[in-house]
């Protein structure tokens, strides 16, 4: 249902995201080549063998630690334009890379922080709704950490960083996460336990 909501409410945000990609050299290449992040396209053994701190190694660690798979991302069903359908698919497939770049787990607090970042980055209504209503299930202690440290950081990072859909992640597996964060303008994550 979250995927359907993203598709059916993204009619303004998706063309904007596509245009950002078209106007960026790396984003344009992604739109032209349409790479997919799936187990069938990833060399997991190679990624596991990359140095600690590299995007590929940390992405595999994230997938393993959280017992998630890139294959759980459903293909779009309610976006008629082929290019816009790819943009929403790409957004879905890089979601776990956002967790990796932001250093956020898949628990409720981590998901809400990622949704705040994605809401600022993408303008997708489902991200805005997730950011706004996700905290309803958090304890008062976690709400305080979210409000005082994590949301301000996610908003600053989202505003400060370039469009994360313009990164050809598949060609950057060897790049250190810290280097990619700096390149994109993502601020270092707060030193709080999430």
Q: From the annotation, which residues make up the binding site for Zn(2+)?
A: 95-96, 99, 111
DSSP string across 126-174: HHHHHHHHGGGGS-HHHHHHIIIIIHHHHHHHHHHSPPGGG--GGG-TT
Q: Give the tokens for residue 182.
A: 């700096």
Is-contact 67 99, C-beta < 8 A? no
d(CA 130, CA 189): 20
Candidates 51, 18, 57, 56; CA nearest to 34 is: 18
**Distant-in-sequence, close-in-space partners of 29: CB < 8 Å, separation ≥ 6:** 168
Q: Give the tokens for residue 51.
A: 């140095």
Paired strand residues for 176: 54
Q: How far does Cα 128 stand from its chain's mean position?
A: 14
Residue positions in the annotated binding site?
Answer: 95-96, 99, 111
């Amino acid at each position: 249902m979250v995927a359907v909501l993203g598709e059916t409410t993204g009619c303004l945000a998706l063309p904007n995201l596509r245009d950002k990609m078209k106007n960026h050299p790396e984003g344009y290449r992604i739109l032209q080549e349409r790479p997919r992040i799936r187990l069938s396209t990833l060399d997991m053994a190679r990624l596991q063998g990359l140095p600690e701190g590299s995007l590929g190694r940390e992405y595999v660690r994230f997938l393993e630690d959280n017992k998630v798979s890139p294959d759980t991302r459903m293909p779009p069903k309610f976006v008629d334009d082929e290019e816009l359908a790819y943009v929403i698919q790409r957004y879905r497939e890089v979601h776990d890379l956002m967790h990796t770049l932001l250093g956020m787990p898949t628990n409720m607090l981590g998901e809400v922080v990622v949704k705040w970042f994605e809401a600022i980055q993408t303008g997708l209504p489902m991200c805005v709704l997730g950011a706004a209503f996700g905290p309803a299930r958090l304890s008062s202690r976690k709400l305080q950490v979210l409000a005082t440290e994590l949301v301000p950081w996610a908003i600053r990072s989202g505003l400060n960083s370039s469009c994360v859909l313009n990164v050809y992640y598949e060609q950057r597996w060897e790049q250190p996460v810290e280097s990619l964060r700096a390149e994109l303008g993502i601020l270092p994550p707060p030193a709080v336990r999430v």
